Amino acid sequence: MTSSALFATSNTVLFDFGGVMTGEPNRVLVMNFLCESLELMPSEFEKANLEKRQAFVEHGINDLQFWLEYASKHNISLPKEWEQEFKGVLKNAIGINDEMYALVEELKSKKIPVALLSNIDKRLSTILRELDLYYPFEPCLLSCDIGAEKPDLRAYEVALNHLNTPAHQIVFFDDREENIEAAKQAGLDAILFESAAQAREELAKRNLL
């Protein structure tokens, strides 16, 4: 039996986010931008950054809103393009994998359902949503919303319920071995992610590309 025949029933793709749709994050980019534009020493940035996290927890204030209010409070004048520049820095710092986003769009152009299952906290998920990085995925299942984190089997059960697709027909990519093993226990066709080229190869084996 050929590999294409073996995987002929695959019809849905489920991706992890961090480490699959992105590379390694670069926090220094954000810190340097904020230190320069807000005239902060690194120690002052770290102190303010802790206040920012607390502001989100207590009042739901997002990163952009916090730093704009910080500038206003400290009489720091920001150029009108600062907001867009900040969003651009955030996007670069996240380390978007353009090849993977292109792959997702290619799958969608073939009418193949593409979903997301990601472990993430509310604050970071808010940033990613504001940067429109979840736009290709339906459904977009985040641990902070569904109340379960991979490799807990409950996370995969939630995904299966939302996708309404037999587990063996779902190809799942994640960059963590423990998440792959748990996904296999749940019955998914789970693959340890290495690169966009490897993902393409695996999807081609399953007649999805």
- The total of structural domains in the chain comes to 2
What pLDDT score was predicted for residue 154? 98
Retrieve residue 81's tokens: 């393009």
Query: Does residue 2 surpass a pLDDT of 60?
Result: no
Q: Which of 52, 71, 94 is the last residue of a domain?
A: 94
Name the burial class of residue 202, with classes exposed (0-12), middle (13-18) and buried (19+) by CB atoms within 10 angstroms of its CB.
Answer: buried
| Long-range contact set of residues 180-186: C-beta below 8 Å, sequence gap at least 24 | 181/151, 182/150, 182/151, 182/152, 182/153, 182/156, 183/150, 183/151, 183/156, 185/153, 186/153, 186/156, 186/157, 186/160
| Whether 19 and 32 share a structural domain | no
Q: What is the pLDDT of residues 56-100, one digit of tens each?
A: 888 888 889 999 999 999 999 999 999 999 999 999 999 999 999
What pLDDT score was predicted for residue 59? 86
Confidence of residue 39 (pLDDT cuts 50, 70, 90): very high
Does some domain include residue 75?
Answer: yes
Q: Which of 67, 94, 121 is the last residue of a domain?
A: 94
Separation of CA 24 from chain center: 12
Residues pairing with 116 in the sheet: 15, 140
What pLDDT score was predicted for residue 24? 84
| Whether 123 and 189 share a structural domain | yes
Does some domain include residue 64?
Answer: yes
Query: Does residue 170 surpass a pLDDT of 80?
Result: yes
Retrieve residue 117's tokens: 């299952």
Query: Does residue 4 surpass a pLDDT of 60?
Result: no
Does some domain include residue 7?
Answer: no
pTM summary value: 0.86
- Mean pLDDT, range 119-123, rounded to an integer: 92
Q: Which of 50, 77, 94 is the last residue of a domain?
A: 94
Does some domain include residue 6?
Answer: no
Retrieve residue 199's tokens: 């993902």
| Whether 42 and 141 share a structural domain | no
| Whether 67 and 101 share a structural domain | no
Three-class SS of 130-183: HCCCCCCCCCEEEHHHHCCCCCCHHHHHHHHHHHCCCHHHEEEEECCHHHHHHH
SS3 content of the chain, % helix, strand, coil (to 5): 55, 10, 35
Does some domain include residue 1?
Answer: no
Does some domain include residue 2?
Answer: no
| Whether 52 and 83 share a structural domain | yes
* pLDDT above 70 as % of the chain: 96
Query: Does residue 1 surpass a pLDDT of 50?
Result: no
| Whether 66 and 135 share a structural domain | no
Quote the CA–CA distance of 180 and 186 in Å, as a whole number.
10
Confidence of residue 6 (pLDDT cuts 50, 70, 90): low
Q: What is the CATH number of the domain that holds 164?
A: 3.40.50.1000
Quote the CA–CA distance of 40 and 33 in Å, as a whole number.
10
| Whether 116 and 134 share a structural domain | yes
| Whether 69 and 119 share a structural domain | no
| Whether 112 and 197 share a structural domain | yes
Residue with tokens 């736009």, as numbered in its chain: 135
- CA 171, 174, 177, 182: dihedral to nearest 10 degrees? -50
- Mean pLDDT, range 133-150, rounded to an integer: 97
| Whether 18 and 36 share a structural domain | no
What pLDDT score was predicted for residue 61? 87
Q: Which amino acid is at 67?
A: W
Does some domain include residue 46?
Answer: yes
| Whether 103 and 201 share a structural domain | yes
* pLDDT above 90 as % of the chain: 83
Retrieve residue 207's tokens: 């007649």
Q: Structural domain of residue 49, as residue ranges?
A: 27-94
What pLDDT score was predicted for residue 7? 54
Query: Does residue 5 surpass a pLDDT of 50?
Result: no
